[in-house]
Amino acid sequence: MKNILLVGAGGFIGSILRYWISGYVQQAANRMDFPFGTLAVNVVGCFAIGLLAQVGEKYGAFSNESRAFLVIGVLGGFTTFSSFGNDTVNLARQDYMMNAMANVGANVILGLLAVWLGRTVGHLIWR
């Protein structure tokens, strides 16, 4: 139960940070023809999870509780794209290159198909 609360508290913080940072970047870009705000949080989130994963791996810096709060909670609330990136890099580092590429393809293709399907179902239900 403690880890659930830590993940929830971290997710709360990460979601607020995503809202603030993506909004600020999008407004600063002064353009609406590209999602600069989303790109920024995805890249920052990927950098942060890479940094935390390396520090945690090399120095054993994180307890299960701090990992639940920081990695799953804060970064999960900030962007799940960072988890996708970390999972893919971990597969590649373990010499599972085909699995890493399959993960990229599956997430992109299935994710886009799921968005399209959700929009289609929503359109059919709520005309």
Encode pLDDT of 62-117 as tens digits: 999 999 999 999 999 999 898 899 999 999 999 999 999 999 999 999 989 998 99
Are 90 and 101 found together in one domain? no
pLDDT at 126: 84
pLDDT at 22: 94
Encode pLDDT of 8-63 as tens digits: 999 999 999 999 999 999 999 998 889 999 999 999 999 999 899 888 888 888 99
With a pLDDT cut of 70, the percent of the chain lying above it is 100
Are 72 and 114 found together in one domain? no
How many domains does the chain contain in total?
A: 2
pLDDT classification of 6: cutoffs 50, 70, 90: very high
- What does each C-alpha distance from 76 to 7, 12, 46, 82, 83 come to in angstroms? 9, 10, 11, 8, 7
Q: pTM of the entire structure?
A: 0.80
Are 15 and 72 found together in one domain? yes
Are 124 and 67 found together in one domain? no
Tell me the residue range of the domain where 109 lies. 97-127
pLDDT at 48: 94
Contacts of residue 15, Cβ cutoff 8 Å, sequence gap at least 6? 77, 78
For the chain, first and last CA: distance in Å?
42
